[in-house]
Structure 1
Amino acid sequence: MQAVIVRRFGGPDVLELAELPAPRPGPAQVLIRVAAAAVNRIDLSTRAGRITEAGLLAPAPVVALGWDVAGEVAATGAGVTRFAAGDRVIGLRDLLSAPGTQADEVVLDETAVAHAPAGVGDAEAAALPLAGLTADRSLELTGLRGGQTLLVTGAAGVVGGLVLQLAALRGIRTVAAADAADEPLLRALGAEHVVARTDRLGEAVRDLVPGGVDAVIDAAVLGIGAHEALRGCGVFVALVAPFAPPPLRGTTVVVQEVYADGARLAGLAALAAAGDLTLRVAGTLPLARVAEAHERLAAGGVRGRLVLVP
């Protein structure tokens, strides 16, 4: 089968579409015939070697890429009870040393897989696992209740946009920080207030929410600049550990670490099937054009996931 790999770290030119042995499911595993696999920023960091430099991935002669997958169950291992051949599924590969999803086929643990949302196309479904699980767990970590206030940085991105939608479903009031041109999109996703990108974010947010917001989800990785919008004893959720600010003014700072959770993913899929979550796709490309996807994502301004289609 074909799979996207790197044998050395560097720019998009090191990406390779290689022939690898076809995988086989072991006990409690599912073999998925890939219909679509999203490209995420962590793929860019993996390809460039930053993940290995940070000590999160052991050096290896071959590193596979791809976290998200949507596809069809081709076979199941012993003990699998929730899925059968022919089922449409989505899943998340959260172990960097395991085979990637940007391939013709991939094997995942049964616990990392959920049934695909009914009525949602493969490309859109592939945009849900990593971003959806990140957004949902980040919101859970804030501990917010209906009526409380949340600042979402990078709100026009895929994760930020899903946070806005999930917050709106729970009655949480949101302040979305992004480019001013994205305001119509952010309002449609449920933002109550929109703040244009600025070096004085804390001041701009406090003009709208006197005393500061109850929590921040920092999808844009702004760090202390976003923390200044937070009230004393509020909660700050960072998505990248090195950019987590100190817990000033009695605040709580937590780092969200995503993991494969088929049960939580099934709940998100149900919301997508009901039309309560909008899954945004910026474009689809064949596996052979993976380098183009990396270049577009690195250039910025992509509103939605770029998805590879074997």
Structure 2
Amino acid sequence: MKAVGVGMFGGPEALQMYDLAEPHAGPGQVRIRVHAASVNPGDRYVRNGALGRIGGSPPYIPGMEAAGVIDEIGEATSSELRIGDRVMAATMPTVPGGGAYAQYLCLPADWVTRAPAGMSHAQAATLPMNGLTSRQALDLLGLSAGQTLAVTGSAGLIGGYVIQMAKADGLTVAVDAAPADEELVRSLGADLIVPRGSHFGRRVRQAVPNGVDGIVDTAGLISAAVAPAVRDGGSIATLLGDSLHSISAAEQRLRSLTLHAVYVPDYLGDPAKLTRLRLQAEAGELTPRIAQIFPAERARDAHLLMEASGARGRLVLEF
């Protein structure tokens, strides 16, 4: 099979196309003939060696979400999935055979669900890991309908999913956005927009004097700069756990803040959460956004563009 990976860690130029032996579904697994794999910021950490040697021998294959068609079901696999089903899946490159940049992907059946009806493989490939990340962030905050949420990085794909999920949950949503992105985030459901910049917390607090009930920081801002937006007794969820260390223990106690680091592997293997993403996408509550599609052979170009940032949607590789 064709796969994109690295034999030696490095920048985008380290990515190579490999011919590897086809994997086959083992007990409890299904095999996906992958047609599309999204390019996520975390994929660089497989490529550049930040995760170290992630198991087995090189090449190391990045990729955390894919879409395609079931073409093999392993023995003793209990699942409603059938050969020929169009599916999407979240995965981790740190598990054996787990990287999604490959023509075939064998995963536990619980990591896979049917793709949303009417969506292309490329669109479906942006949902599983990004959607689970967004869902987990909101679940950690535990807000109720009628409460107020602030979101950083709202124009990014995860930020957009957080906005849409929050609106479906009945929350009022405040976001930051550059002028060029205001129309986009409004279309996703944002109720209040403040200028993008380093004073996010102060600007939100000016617009919401009592403070918001919770914050999802998808932009990886320093939490000490975000915290002023949230009321005393509120909570913050961030995709970059290290940023939470910028809030002192004394401030946490004084303001009764609850801090959460999103760790999406905790949600793998929960088919109900994947199914919920599919149903919300079919209902129009979640809108996949693709910035650009590349053939797998141009994975280097996709990583170069990903590292330049600014994409208002996901880059996708097609196999």
What TM-score do you get using the length of structure 2 for normalisation? 0.93
Deviation at 1:97, TM superposition (A): 3.7
For residues 55 and 243 of structure 2, the distance between their equivalents in structure 1, rounded to whole angstroms, comes to: 22
- Preserved contact between residue 111 and residue 263 of structure 1 (Cα < 8 Å): no
- Residue 296 of structure 2 corresponds to which residue in structure 1? 287
Structure-2 residue corresponding to 1:181: 180
Distance (whole Å) between structure 2 residues aligned to residue 240 and residue 62 of structure 1: 27
8 Å CA contact 1:25–1:77 kept in 2: the answer is yes
In structure 2, what is the equivalent of residue 4 of structure 1? 4
Residue correspondence of structure 1 range 251-270 to structure 2 within 5 A: 251-259=257-265, 260=268, 261-270=270-279
Alpha-carbon contact 2:146-2:172 (below 8 Å) kept = yes
Output the CA distance in 1 between the equivalents of 2:25 and 2:241: 34
Q: Which residue of structure 1 lines up, in the alignment, with residue 150 of structure 2?
A: 151
Letter of the structure 1 residue corresponding to residue 112 of structure 2: V
SS at match of 1:26: coil
SS in 2 for 1:62: coil
Which runs of 5 or more residues in structure 2 are unaligned?
A: none
Which residue number corresponds to residue 230 of structure 1? 230
Specify the alignment match of 1:271 in structure 2. Answer: 280
Task: Output one character per residue of 1:262-292: Cα deviation in whole Å (capped at 9) or x when no partner.
Answer: 2201111111112221110111111100000
- Out of 65, 69, 73, the residue aligned to residue 70 of structure 2 is 73
Q: What is the number of equivalent residue pairs in this alignment? A: 307
Note the C-alpha offset of 1:59: 8.5
Whichever residue aligns with residue 259 of structure 2, its letter is V
Ranges in structure 1 where 5+ consecutive residues have no aligned partner? none
Q: Quick check: 1:63–1:97 contact (8 Å CA) kept in 2?
A: no
In the other structure, the counterpart of 2:47 is 47
Residue 212 of structure 2 corresponds to which residue in structure 1? 213
Matched letter for residue 121 of structure 1: S
Check the 8 A contact 2:63/2:93 in 1, yes or no.
Answer: no
Identity %: 39
TM-score, length-scaled by structure 1: 0.95
Q: 1:2 to 1:58 in 2, by over 3 A?
A: closer
> Which runs of structure 2 are paired with 1:95-110 in the superposition (5 Å)?
95-99=93-97, 100-110=99-109
Match of 2:37 in 1: 37
Moved more, 250-259 or 95-104: 95-104
1:282 aligned partner, one-letter code: A
Residues 233/59 of structure 1: CA separation in 2 closer, same or farther (3 Å cut):
farther
Are residues 84 and 95 of structure 1, via their aligned partners in 2, closer, same or farther at CA, if it must alter by over 3 Å? same
